[in-house]
Structure 1
Amino acid sequence: MPRLLIDLSDSLIAEELTALIHQAAYLHLLDLKALRAAMQRANGHHKLAVLEQAIEAWLDGSAGTRSRGETAFRRALTALGLPRPLTNMKARGIEVDFHWPDRQLIVEIDGPNHNRPPTRVTDRSRDDELAAAGWTILRAPTYELALEKLRTEVDRNIP
């Protein structure tokens, strides 16, 4: 597992690696001590900082990205030079897809399962709770629309 994660650090973003670390830990395949030792021995790998980011995010409670849309969104944020959000971590005790605590901003990418009535009720309840605490929640069915909403929000709030 350590060698696989090191090799993948050359092509995956931190949030994708975090998802793999999360799954490996769930399956009892992760030995963090062995992973860090392997990282110290890994010559020629120049993106170990990405793997270190993934480890730290996982230790802080992130599950990494959970869908292609989430991964595409994170890659697009990086390409646009936008600040890195916390990914699949809790805001006020509620796990959200992406959030920037300093801006109290949340982005949720809602796949098809969010069209089911019970899920819509849960989403609305969560959004109401977070909004009451001062958070802005942007929901979109695709990562492209999420980026568009994020750009609009950022443009509107730049002094």
Structure 2
Amino acid sequence: MERSKRRRLAAELAEAADGVASRAWLAAAGITRHDIRYEVDAGRWRLHGRQTVAVHNGTLGTVARRWSVVFETGSAVAAIDGVTALQHAGLKGYLDEVVHVSAVHNHNTDPLPGAAIHKVIRRVTGELVLAGLPRTTPAVAAIRAAHWARTDRQAALILLMTVQQRLTTPHRLAAAQRLVRGRTRRAFIRAVVRDIAFGVQSLGELDFARMCRSRGLPEPSRQVVRQTPGGRIYLDVAWDDHDLVVEIDGAQHRWGVAVTDDNLRQNDITLSGDRVLRVDVIGLRLETDRFLEQVQRGLSRRRAA
């Protein structure tokens, strides 16, 4: 093939992959391994692993690195997954520079620097986005990322951020949780997803009262009504003898204008003479002891005679 034509064709192929192409792509276009070696020896192209060819001599960008991991793992079985798939879909504010990729469990590949290759038992029907970079849908990626996270806190944060940044919906996340199998923290992820999808109903005032009883704290009143200048307010739990109110927030309570509504509500309660402790359902799962210790401290101050 004429050199100029070869370079132009290779550049066109690599344009969709941020400047890289696989040997298989190039071979399908008629560019042989000898052609590749010629361009590499001339310093115009650069190899990155066994299968990835950069049709330039610079460093790889973020998207090119992801493509390279897919090429090196085996493009027929691999897909960007977990946090990396979420970042590719637009996730902001979660730092993880490792490229996470999933492959079916019977596929073997050598370790790759800067990459984490996760074996999955099977693919969930419809989980792959095949247009562009092979990757899993945000709902599936979030569930897998939560299983692969180092801590429960990281797992909960990933699930929350995925929905808060509208990469998927709470109900799609719940559907993915029922389908995707993971090896770690299954019960925790199932509970957090319920919290996100169904709000306070998944934990609720009854469970909070049970937690209080387990620590020897007095039984709170539930669904207490207060009449304030802002109107009638239904409190989650309250101890009237201690001027203490606990508001249990679902995951959606800190989104959008819900913050304003919560602030107005809390101000009305405070001005009526009650002290307010806010407890979010995700935090209560992660920091049960710390939140209940705060409740215990609040109850230690009884109403003045």
2:238 alignment counterpart: 99
- Displacement of 1:106 after TM fit? 0.5
Q: Given the superposition, is the C-alpha separation of residues 91 and 83 from structure 1 closer, same or farther in structure 2, using an over 3 Å criterion?
A: farther
- Displacement of 1:135 after TM fit? 0.7
**Whole-angstrom CA distance in 2 between matches of 1:146 and 1:87:** 18
**Whole-angstrom CA distance in 1 between matches of 2:215 and 2:293:** 12
Letter in 1 for 2:299: V
- Displacement of 1:69 after TM fit? 4.8
The structure in which a higher percent of residues are helix is: 1
**Whole-angstrom CA distance in 1 between matches of 2:219 and 2:226:** 15
2:213 alignment counterpart: 78
1:83-130: CA deviation from partner (whole Å, max 9, x where unpaired): 111112313331111011222210012121111121111110011111
Report the 3-state secondary structure (helix = DSSP H, G, I; strand = E; otherwise coil) of the residue aligned with 2:218: coil
Report the 3-state secondary structure (helix = DSSP H, G, I; strand = E; otherwise coil) of the residue aligned with 2:253: helix
**Whole-angstrom CA distance in 1 between matches of 2:206 and 2:244:** 18
**Whole-angstrom CA distance in 2 between matches of 1:118 and 1:149:** 27
* Contact 1:108–1:146, Cα closer than 8 Å, also in 2: no
**Whole-angstrom CA distance in 2 between matches of 1:152 and 1:103:** 11
Give structure 2 stretches of 5+ with no counterpart: 1-199
Q: Give the alignment of 1:7-46 within 5 angstroms.
A: none
Letter in 2 for 1:88: Q
- Greater relative contact order: 1 or 2 (C-alpha under 8 angstroms, separation 6 or more)? 1
Give structure 1 stretches of 5+ with no counterpart: 1-64
Letter in 2 for 1:81: G
- Displacement of 1:67 after TM fit? 3.2
1:22 alignment counterpart: none
1:121-146: CA deviation from partner (whole Å, max 9, x where unpaired): 11100111111111100002233253
Letter in 1 for 2:221: L
**Whole-angstrom CA distance in 2 between matches of 1:146 and 1:68:** 15
* Contact 1:90–1:96, Cα closer than 8 Å, also in 2: yes
Report the 3-state secondary structure (helix = DSSP H, G, I; strand = E; otherwise coil) of the residue aligned with 1:109: strand
* Contact 1:73–1:147, Cα closer than 8 Å, also in 2: no
Structure 1 or 2, whichever has the larger Rg, is 2
Taking only aligned residues, the RMSD between alpha carbons, in angstroms, comes to: 2.3
Q: Given the superposition, is the C-alpha separation of residues 124 and 132 from structure 1 closer, same or farther in structure 2, using an over 3 Å criterion?
A: same
TM-score (norm 1): 0.51
Letter in 1 for 2:254: N
1:19-47: CA deviation from partner (whole Å, max 9, x where unpaired): xxxxxxxxxxxxxxxxxxxxxxxxxxxxx
1:113 alignment counterpart: 252
* Contact 1:77–1:84, Cα closer than 8 Å, also in 2: yes
TM-score (norm 2): 0.28
Matched, 1:134 2:279: no
1:67 alignment counterpart: 202
Report the 3-state secondary structure (helix = DSSP H, G, I; strand = E; otherwise coil) of the residue aligned with 1:66: helix
* Contact 2:244–2:298, Cα closer than 8 Å, also in 1: no
Residue-pair matches, total: 94
**Whole-angstrom CA distance in 2 between matches of 1:113 and 1:84:** 27
Matched, 1:150 2:295: yes
Q: Which aligned segments of 4 or more residues in structure 1 are displaced greater than 3 angstroms?
A: none
